Amino acid sequence: MSTCATASGELAEPLAGTAAVAATWLLVEQTGPWGKEALTQSHLDPEIGSALEERAEGTGVRVALIRRPGRHADVRRPASRRVLAAHTAPGGTWIRTTDVRDPAHLLDLDLAALGSGEHAGFDAALGAGPYRGDPLVLVCTNGRRDRCCALLGRPLAADLHAAGGTAAWEITHIGGHRFSPTLLLLPHGYAYGRMTPHAVKEVVESLASGLVVPDGCRGRSTWERPGQAAELAVRRLTGAYGADDLAVVRTESDGEGGGDGWRVTVEHRDGRTWDVPVAPLAAATATPASCGAAPLPQTHMAAGAPRPH
């Protein structure tokens, strides 16, 4: 049976510029089954899930549910659950963690402050503290959104968990089903697609040393998608693979030739800058965005040659 991931892989769809966009991730542990819209279709109180989703709109925060890989107790009301927040901006990345007894306390959070990179309110409201450990590896496994996430994501998450040495979690949704198995690494916010256990090991070890592996990278969630593609284009051109070497400082509509693309300015921390033209490019062959969806020409972010200032 053909799947969206198979179709995408056969066409070698570009991965750059396909990561979910979030300056800060708010992750809430929830065991048991997840529905397609997991925040309101799980054992988490749907009113709390809906309120969190609504309050996060426009703040730069993305809320998702997480659980440990493998078999776990299906507890509707656990005594406590892990909550993690991670900010992804270069030079200001952090992860804060705590356990909460009542997830309703999450509704007291100032999500706008969290999205801007301030964690003091998060700490004060929930008694959170700094996370100390390896980068978090979050593998998308929600089969109710797409069967590829279950068929390909769950075995990868289980392998990572069994191997040890990696802080691996399952996550409800980070977009891009057709790039499964797909994962997110925090705190830097880099997403990857079409991963294997060996590739994940290289990515995690490199990021723990402060380096980004460009192969398989979908982009850094800090940036909008044109910025994600532009940053990766500059990395490949210059060999600037330090996680915080580059920042997207400006994205402008590019009206040249009547097009609908963007001109993205990427800055190195040493002061060098590049302008990168990025255009939405539709594939010549139609493929489904997810399993069961109608095949359509999928659009990717095509980055042109970076031009130094």
Question: What is the domain-level CATH number for residue 44?
Answer: 3.40.30.10
Is residue 276 domain-resident? no
Is residue 65 domain-resident? yes
- pLDDT tens for 44-76 read 999 999 999 999 999 999 999 999 997 666 666
Is residue 275 domain-resident? no
Tell me the C-alpha distance between 72 and 34, whole Å: 13
Number of independent structural domains in the chain: 1
Is residue 255 domain-resident? no
What confidence score (pLDDT) does residue 238 get?
96
What confidence score (pLDDT) does residue 309 get?
86
Q: Which of 63, 64, 65, 57 is nearest to 112 (CA)?
A: 57
Strand 273-282 with 299-303, pairing = antiparallel
Is residue 300 domain-resident? no
- pLDDT tens for 125-169 read 999 999 988 889 999 999 888 899 989 999 999 998 888 767 899
Asked whether the beta carbons of 114 and 141 are under 8 A apart, the reply is no
Is residue 13 domain-resident? yes
Q: Which two tokens stand for residue 49?
A: 């899930």
- Residue 199 has φ and ψ, to the nearest 5°, of -65, -40
Asked whether the beta carbons of 230 and 306 are under 8 A apart, the reply is yes
- pLDDT tens for 253-286 read 986 544 689 999 999 999 999 999 999 999 889 8
Q: Which two tokens stand for residue 175?
A: 């977009």
- Which residue segment(s) compose the domain that 104 sits in? 1-223
Is residue 181 domain-resident? yes
Say what the pTM is.
Answer: 0.95
Is residue 15 domain-resident? yes
